[in-house]
Amino acid sequence: MKRRLINSLVLLSIGLLMAAVAGSPRARAHAIDASGTFSIHGNAPKAFANIEVLEIGGNDEYGWKANPPFYGFVRLNNKAKTDYKLLKPTITDKNIGFKTRSVAGVSYEFEGSFTQLDFAEKDMRNQMVLSGTLKKMVAGKVAAEARLDFDFTPGG
């Protein structure tokens, strides 16, 4: 009888611990789908006018779970269509932050938040869904910084 009670309590404790971990923000951070293609809303400041799109990869076999992982990129609208590949973003609830790999000494950093995360299901094309501060880094130093809004533009 005592053994059955102890076993039941151990199983209950393990179940409660697993439920607590699964419900924590850290565990949910990677379950959020913030994937999509985004373009700067309105007229971009001169330092960012050459950005064509921001692509955020999904948490699936084509994105974060791919080998190698695809987190997304910042693409310029120059002739070469230069891509600044995203390093692993941090996404918690509606907040997102990322840095890009450097190309010829230039990289980008972003901290912002989504107005909502169901923009794909609601087909909110060409509507502002992301806001934040974008920094253009040159040789590791801030060369330009602006508060920007981004529209959801499926299909880039």
Q: What is the per-residue pLDDT across 71-123, written as a single tens digit (0 to 9) for each?
A: 999 999 999 899 999 999 999 989 999 999 999 999 999 999 999 888 877 88
Q: What pTM was estimated for this model as a whole?
A: 0.77
Q: From residue 138, how far is each of 82, 88, 100, 101, 143 by CA, in Å? A: 16, 20, 12, 12, 6
Residues 68 and 10 both lie in one domain: no
Domain co-membership, 98 together with 111: yes
The residue type at 61: E
Domain containing residue 24: 1-31
What is the C-alpha end-to-end distance of the chain, expressed in Å?
64
Are 43 and 27 within one domain? Answer: no
CATH of the domain at 111: 2.40.128
Residue 60 has pLDDT above 80, yes or no: yes
**Residue 17 sits in the same domain as residue 68:** no
* pLDDT the model gives residue 155: 64
Total domains in the chain come to 2
**74, 84 Cβ separation under 8 angstroms:** yes
Do 130 and 64 fall within a single domain?
yes
Residue 27 pLDDT > 60, yes or no? no
Average pLDDT score over residue span 134-146:
97
